[in-house]
Amino acid sequence: MSYADFAFYQDEFCGSLIPTEDDYKTASVKAKCYLDWLTNGQIKDLEDISDDIKLAECAVSEVYWINGRNPGILSEGNDGYQVEFAEPQEMDLYRTAVRFLPDGLIYRGIGI
């Protein structure tokens, strides 16, 4: 389950890039997993999920969604048809998340 629902994405985050609730659910699952990893699972231990955390999930969801629509091509093969697509760059996800996450949730010495 995501920290922020599609209504929060549209109304509070004022998001418009992700067009449907199903698309948002797909991207937000990845975003939630990334935020949980980035914070060493500290968000799960909180009694109340702040709007800052929900905003971070919305922003990271957009990064995943944009990448899913326009993935970067890492390599192509000419022996048959083969294409390898890139995931969002770790630094893009990190920079997006830290703009919103409250102080204290991210270990600043994280090596990226």
Parse the chain into domains and list their residue ranges: 6-98
Terminal Cα-to-Cα distance of the chain (whole angstroms) = 27
Positive/negative CA dihedral, 64, 69, 71, 76: positive
- Residue 110: predicted pLDDT: 53
What is the Cβ-side half-sphere exposure of residue 91, based on CA atoms within 13 angstroms? 1
Using an 8 Å Cβ cutoff, are 75 and 83 in contact? yes
Distances (CA, A) of 106 to 43, 60, 82: 10, 15, 38
pTM for the full predicted model = 0.79
Question: What's the pLDDT tens digit per position in 71-99?
Answer: 565 556 666 666 665 566 778 888 999 99
Most confident of the ranges 4-13, 64-73, 74-83, 93-102: 4-13
- Whether the predicted pLDDT of 4 surpasses 90: yes
